[in-house]
Amino acid sequence: MTNEIENQFFLKAVVDRFENKTAVLKLQDGQTLNWPIKNLPDDVSAGSALRLIISTNQTDQSEREKIAKTILNQLLKRPKNGKQS
């Protein structure tokens, strides 16, 4: 089962256990996925809830552009009194 929020598709998973250099992730539908531990955040432990985002190169590029525009707009925003601090 995939979820969609603002054109981002993701799977929810829980870290079931660690085996050698692999984390065994249990997906919502009961399937398991072997994931390299080196590709997980440092604070992950057994039982941690994860969200795996699925995107294409085009979706990824679009998201980076959206973030860049938001940051630029925040940088260019002037205080209401018209003076910059």
The CA distances from residue 52 to 38, 62, 81, in Å, are 15, 18, 44
- Kindly report the CATH number assigned to the domain that includes residue 63: 2.40.50
> Domain range spanning residue 34?
3-76
20 Cβ neighbours under 8 A, 6+ residues apart: none
pLDDT category of residue 62 using cuts at 50, 70 and 90: confident
Q: Could you report the per-residue pLDDT of 63-81, keeping only the tens digit for each?
A: 788 888 888 888 888 665 5
Specify if 35 maps to a domain.
yes
Compute the distance between CA of residue 28 and CA of residue 79 in angstroms, rounded to an integer: 46
The per-residue pLDDT for 76 is 87
Specify if 7 maps to a domain.
yes
Specify if 20 maps to a domain.
yes
Specify if 17 maps to a domain.
yes
The per-residue pLDDT for 53 is 82
Using a pLDDT cut of 70, give the percent of the chain over it.
79
**Per-residue pLDDT at 31 exceeds 70:** yes
When divided into structural domains, the chain yields a total of 1
51 with 11: CB under 8 angstroms?
yes
**Per-residue pLDDT at 58 exceeds 80:** no
